[in-house]
Amino acid sequence: MSPPLQILSVGCAAVIIAAKAFWMHPGDIRQQDITVSAEHYMQSSTADHVRLAVLEAFQDAPSRWYNTSEGKAALLGVVLNNQMSHAS
């Protein structure tokens, strides 16, 4: 995976992990919530799914495509399609 796609994957991971952590205790986020969410992300198949989805969405795209409305929509789709279950 090229460095730009790695960065997109890490960015998606950060959003997915933060969303789950905030969901666990809305308005009262704790370091433990982020740690638990990150551990779940890494132990589940979510990380692999996100990397694959980013590759599929962007591997043949020109670099400037990332900053277009289509590129942003593709990233949003990757995040929304790979949200982790709120149970755990």
Task: Quote the mean pLDDT of the chain.
Answer: 88
Q: What pLDDT score was predicted for residue 85? A: 55
- pLDDT exceeds cutoff 60 at 88: no
pLDDT class of 43 with cuts at 50, 70, 90: very high
Q: Which two tokens stand for residue 69?
A: 């409305």
**Across 64-81, average pLDDT:** 89
DSSP 44: S
